[in-house]
Amino acid sequence: MSNQNVENPFVQPGHDHASCISAALNGAEAVCARRGGRLTPLRRRVLELVWRSHQPMGAYDLLALLQDERGRVAPPTVYRTLDFLCAQGLVHRLDSLQAFIGCGHAGGDDDGGGDGQHPAHFLICQGCGVAVEVCDGQLDGAINHLAGRTGFAIADETIELRGRCADCQN
């Protein structure tokens, strides 16, 4: 599903985070061009800030970083920007953390609606704070089977699993 080659920092020794940022920004340009969206300089910068690490970032954390760079920035500006990035499937909102994380599968298969949304499953380390989006066809199949069996129509799917990564367990 991924077309960005974003590495999983839980399992990649010597993880090159710069390549994640580069892949995310290049992928975002392509996604926006394909969908007719505009990746303005502010949208691009917010996306870059979200991708600074694999730790989810709150809107007010982003606001503070932008204000350090640009002076006064209004909170609605950040929220509108995040809404755009979410709608394009470039970032996900993690409801339990009230934070945002870059989508490692932006521009890949979506739900067929062409809006970039797709089922999102995250492993969130309670030790280091890293969150990783994972794709698993068996999990997708099990969820779809359950929904079909019960006659339930899934409108949005985000699963957040908390625990400890291998490094934090040691």
- Residue among 21, 29, 99 at smallest CA distance from 53: 21
| Terminal-residue alpha carbon distance, the chain | 32
Residue 13: per-residue pLDDT: 63
Confidence of residue 160 (pLDDT cuts 50, 70, 90): very high
Residue range 21-35: mean pLDDT, rounded: 91
As a whole number, the mean pLDDT across the chain is 85
Q: Which helix (H) or strand (E) segment is 28 a member of? A: helix 17-35
Residue range 119-135: mean pLDDT, rounded: 90
- Asked if the model's pLDDT at residue 109 lies above 80, the reply is no
Asked whether 121 and 133 are in contact (CB, 8 A), the reply is yes
Within 10 angstroms of residue 11's Cβ, the number of other Cβ atoms is 10
Give tens-digit pLDDT for 62-81. Answer: 999 999 999 999 999 999 99
Residue 107: per-residue pLDDT: 64
Q: Report which of residues 126 and 11 the model is more confident about.
A: 126
Give tens-digit pLDDT for 84-102. Answer: 999 999 999 999 999 999 9
* Percent of the chain scoring above 70 in pLDDT: 85
